[in-house]
Chain A
Amino acid sequence: MKYLIVLCCFLHVFLQPAHAALEIESHREADLYTELAGAKLNKMIPILVELETLKGEQILPLFTLLMAGNLYYVKADKALVGKANEQGATSYKSVFTQEERPELGKKDVKKVRVNNKLRSHLRTAIARIQLTSTSPVVREKAVRTLLAKLDPKTIVLLADRYAIEPHREVKNAIKLALALYTATQTQQSISDRVMAIETLSTSLENQVRNTLVQLTQDTHQPIALAAQKSLTQIEQRAQRFALVDKLFFGLSLGSVLLLASIGLAITFGVMGVINMAHGEMIMLGAYTTYVVQLMMPNYIDYSLIVAIPAAFVVSGLMGILVERLVICRLHGRPLETLLATFGISLILQQLVRTVFSPLNRQVSTPSWMSGSWEINPVLSLTLNRLYILAFSLAIFFLLVMILKKTSLGLNVRAVAQNRAMAKVMGVKTHRVDALTFGLGSGIAGIAGVALSQLTNVGPNLGQAYIIDSFMVVVFGGVGNLLGTLVAAFSLGIGTKFLEPITGAVLASIIVLVFIILFIQKRPKGLFPQKGRAAE
C-alpha cells in the first residue's frame, strides 16, 4: 500500500488542478457551444477539452449525446439540442435542461459531426466524469475504460477516488490501475515496482498483459523476472479460458446446424422426403420475422416472441400446402420428391424476390440479445449465440416430447415404421403425412427466426444451409433425432477446433471428407435405425 500513498503525494504536488483559478465565464461557454455546432472534425477536440475544464461533471449530458451521435444543432440559431427517440417518435430536447422543443422538425436541425477520434476522446472523458457516479457498476466500468489511457492527470483522479471509494470491487479495479501505472514508472523504487507487478498477476486485462510483455525487457533484472512470472500466470489462466471460448464457438456453430437441420430430420428423416425446399422454409421464417418487425416497429424487443409462433404458422401452413398439392402424390417415389421440391424451392425463392425485392432485408436484434456476457476480460460469450444455443436445445426437446408423448407423435412414428399396417389400424395416414410435413416445415420456420439474428435475410438464405443440413441428418443417421443432435454438435465443435489450425476453407473441406469416409465405415450414420423400419 505504501507505494500508493507515495504516488499520490508525488502527483499532487506536481499536478495540483487549478481549482482556484477557475472562474466560470458563461460567455466563453456559450461561444464554445456555438463553435461546436459548426466545427470541423479536426478542430473539435480542443473545444471539448476546454468545455470539460470549464463545466466539469455538468458537461456529461452533452458528451453522452455526442458520443451516441444524437447531438444536433438548430440551423437558425446554432443552439444545441439532443435527439431523443421514444416509441418511434423523434423529438428534440435542449441538452442541459431537457426541455422539449416541439417546434423543431427534421429539417430545422443538423447533426453535430463526430468521428472515431472524437468518440475515443469522449469515452475517456466520460469515464473520468463517471468515476464519481452513484452506481458502483458504472464506476467500475469507468475505471476499466481508463486503463487504456493512464496519464498523470487521470492517476490523480483515480488516487483521490481510491481514498474515498466505499465499494470493494471498484477499489480493487482502481488499485489495479494504480499498480499498472506504478509498474511502468522508472522514478519509483524497484521494490515498489516489483510489488506492483505482483499485484498485476491476478488480472486478465489486455493492458496489463501488454505492459507486462514490455516489462519483461526491463533493464532491471528483478523487474524483468517478476514481470515474466506474472505473465506466465496470466497466460496460463488465459489459455484455459481460450479453450472454453473455443468450445462455446463450437457449441454455437453446432446449435446453428441443429436448428437448420432439425426440421429436415422430420421431413427427410422421418418421412423420407428429400426436401430440397427445406432451406426455403427457413427463409420464410426469417422473412416472417422481418414482417413482424415491420408491423411492430416500436416493440422490437418483443418482436421475436411474436415472430416464433408466426413463423411456425407461416412455414407450417406452407409445408402442409406443399404436402397436399405435391408430395402426397409422390408416395413411394422418394427420389422424385427431390425434383418436385427443388422446383418448389426455385418458385419460393423467386416469390420472395418479387414480393420483397432481391435485396437483403434488415432484421433488428432486440436489445436483450445484443452484446455479450463478459465473464472476464478474456472470456465473453455473445448473448445472441447464447440464446440461440438454449433455444435450439429447447426446440429439440420439445420436438422429442411431441414425437414421444403425443398421439400425433405416436401416429407419425407408426406411419414411418409401417405405413400399411398403420393404415389398417385406422391411422389416417394422409392426415398424419400432412401434419408431419407441416411440423417439420414449421420447425424450419422457427429456425429461420433464430438465423435471422445471425445472418442475412435474403432470398439465398435457404440455399446457404441446405447442404449442411443434409450432411448433419445423414451423419447422425436418418430417422433418429438424437443422431441429429449429436451430429450437429460434433460437427460444430470439430470445425471450430480445426479452424484456427487450417483456416476456415480447409476446415470445411476436411469435415466433408471426414463425413464421406465415416459413412463408408458406418453406412447408416452415427445412430442407425434398427429393425424393420431400417429397410
Chain B
Amino acid sequence: MKGIIHFVRGYGFSQGHEAGKYTFPFVLLLLAVSVFAAAANTFLPVDSALYVSTYTITLLGKYLCYAMLALAVDIIWGYCGILSLGHGAFFALGGYGMGMYLMRQIGDRGVYGHPVLPDFMVFLDWQTLPWFWQGMDHFGFAMLMALFVPGLLAFVFGWLAFRSRVTGVYLSIMTQALTYALLLSFFRNEMGFGGNNGLTDFKEILGFDLQADSTRVSLFLITALLLVVLLLVSQRILSSQFGKVIVAIRDAEPRARFLGYRTERYKVWLFVYSAVIAGIAGALYVPQVGIINPSEFSPINSIEIVIWVAVGGRGTLIGAILGALLVNYAKTRFTAILPDAWLFALGALFVLVTLYLPQGLIGLVSQIKHKWQQVRRKEVGA
C-alpha cells in the first residue's frame, strides 16, 4: 500500500507543477466516488436515501468519458501548446469502432432479420458487407481498430503538419477543417456508416446485455479505472525526459529545435498518444450512451472540449478532468432547470472563467492558497 502511494505521489512532485501534488488525493477521490456509486446502485434498495439510480450511473459514465477526452486535449494543449479544435474527430472514430462491433453483435436480431448486414445496409439495398466492416465482429480486432484508426489519422495529419511547421491558429483551424471534413463524409450514406442516423440500437457487448444494470455499472467502473490509469501514465510520460522536451517545445519551439531536438517528432508522437486516448474515450462512450452518429464530429463539439479544459485549468491534468466533469454537470442541471435560458448561463460561465480565472479552477485553488499564505505570513510577521 505504502509503495503504491509512494509510486503515485512520485509523479505528482516530479512534474514540478503546483497541481501535481493533488494527483494522489484526486485519484483516490475519483475511485472512491466511483466505487461508492457503483456499490450504492448494486446493493442498496431503490428507496434508500443513498441509492444511486442507473440514470445517474450512465450519466457519470458519460462524464468520465468526456473527462478522458479532456485529458487527451490537455496533454497536447496544456503541455505542448497545440490547440486542437478537432479532437472530437478522434473521439468519434474510436466511437465508430466500438459502434461497428456492437452493430455486428446484433446479428439477425435487426428489424429486417438479416443474418449479417446491419439494418441500414439492408435498407440501402446493399448485398454484401463492405471491406471495412470485415472482422469488426471480433471484439479484440474492433478495439484495436478503435485505437489504431484515430492514432493513424493523428500520425498522418501530425506528420504532415508538424513537419511543415504549421503552428498556432493555422494548426487549430486545420484540425477544425479535418473534423468538419469527416463530419460531412460520415453524413454521406454511401460511406457505409449509417449516415446521419449513425449506429444505434445496440444489444450486447461480449455477450452481456447492454441494458442490464450490471453491465452499465461495470462499464462505468471500467471507464473510471481506465481514466485513472491514463491519468497516471500521462503524468508519468509528461514528467519524464520526453515530457520535459515537450514543455520546452511549448515554451519556445525554435529554441528547442536549435538545441538539437527534432521537435516535430516529439509533437507527432504526443499527438498520436493524445488521439489514442480520445479514441479510447469514444469507444467507452458509445456503449454507455447507446448511439454514435456524425454529430460527434461537429466542430462545435471539439470547441467545447477545449472549454472544459480551460475551465478546469490547462496544463494540469486534474484540472482538465475536473473541468469536463463540472461543465457537463452544469449543462445537465441547467438544461433541466432553465430549459429556455441555460445557454446564457453557460455562455456567461465561459466568459467569466476566461476573464477571472486564467488558470482555471485549479488555478483558483492555488490563488486562494497563495493569498492565505500571504495573510499567514503577515500575521506571523506582525
A-side interface residues toward B, CB under 8 Å? 268, 272, 274, 276, 326, 329-330, 333-340, 342-347, 349-351, 354, 463, 467, 470-471, 474, 478, 505-506, 508-509, 512-513, 515-517, 519-521, 523-525
Say if the beta carbon of B259 comes within 8 Å of chain A. no
Chain A residues within 8 Å of B358, by CB: 333, 336
Inside 8 A of A276's CB, which chain B residues have their CB?
Answer: 303
Is the pair B355, A516 in contact by a Cβ cutoff of 8 Å? Answer: no
CA separation between A337 and B358, bound complex, in Å?
11
Is the beta-carbon distance between B351 and A343 smaller than 8 angstroms? yes
Main secondary structure of the interface of B (DSSP, over half): helix
Residues in chain A near residue B300, CB distance under 8 A: 463
Interface residues of B in 159-195 (CB under 8 A from A): 160-161, 163-170, 172-174, 176-178, 180-181, 184-185, 187-188
Assess the A512–B184 pair: CB atoms within 8 A.
Answer: yes
Say yes or no for B37: interface residue by CB 8 A criterion. Answer: no
| Nearest CB of chain A from residue B78's CB, rounded to whole Å | 11
Task: Let me know if B170 and A478 touch, CB within 8 A.
Answer: yes
Residues of A within 8 Å of B83, CB to CB, are 335, 338
Decide: A512 near B310, CB < 8 A? Known: A339-B353, A343-B351, A520-B160: no
Residue among B167, B170, B185 with the highest chain A CB neighbour number at 10 A: B170
Complex-state Cα separation, A345 to B351, whole angstroms: 10
- Cβ of B355 and Cβ of A329 under 8 Å apart? yes
A338 and B348 contact, CB distance less than 8 A: no
Q: Report A-chain residues with C-beta under 8 Å of the C-beta of B185.
A: 509
Cβ–Cβ contact B350 & A474, under 8 A: no
In the bound complex, how far is the Cα of B349 from the Cα of A233, in angstroms?
Answer: 67
Q: How many A-B residue pairs have CB under 8 A?
A: 120
- Tell which of B48-56, B98-106, B260-268, B339-347 binds the partner: B339-347
Contact B181 A339 (CB under 8 A): no
A334 vs B176: C-alpha distance when bound (angstroms): 17
- How far is it, in angstroms, between the C-alpha of A350 and the C-alpha of B306 when the chains are bound? 21
Q: Given A326-B351, A471-B173, are A516 and B346 neighbors across the interface (CB < 8 Å)?
A: no
Show the binding face of B for A, using Cβ within 8 Å: 83, 157, 160-161, 163-170, 172-174, 176-178, 180-181, 184-185, 187-188, 299-300, 303, 306-307, 310, 340-341, 343-344, 346-351, 353-355, 358
When C-beta atoms are compared, the residue in chain B nearest to A272 turns out to be B169
B348 contacts which chain A residues (CB < 8 A)? 343, 347
Give every chain B residue within 8 A of A516 (Cβ-Cβ).
Answer: 157, 174, 177-178, 181
Nearest chain A residue, comparing its CB with the CB of B254: A535
Counting from the closest, the 3 A-B pairs by CB-CB distance are A343-B350, A346-B347, A347-B347
| B346 x A505 contact (CB < 8 A) | no
Closest to A510 in B: B181
- Closest CB-CB distance, B90 to chain A, in whole Å? 15
A344 touches B173 (CB 8 A): no
Please determine whether B347 and A467 come into contact, CB atoms closer than 8 angstroms.
no
Find the B residue at minimum CB distance from A504.
Answer: B184
Q: Which residues of B contact A517 (CB under 8 A)?
A: 160
Q: Is the CB of B180 within 8 A of A467?
A: yes
Complex Cα spacing A337 to B350, Å? 10
Contact call B181/A342, Cβ cutoff below 8 A: no
Q: Are B310 and A339 in contact (CB under 8 A)?
A: yes
Contacts of B166 in A (CB 8 A): 519-520, 523
- For B349, list chain A residues within 8 Å (CB): 343
Given contact pairs A343-B348, A343-B354, A519-B161, enumerate 9 new A-B contacts (beta carbons under 8 Å). Answer: A339-B353, A340-B354, A342-B303, A350-B343, A467-B176, A509-B181, A509-B184, A515-B174, A516-B178
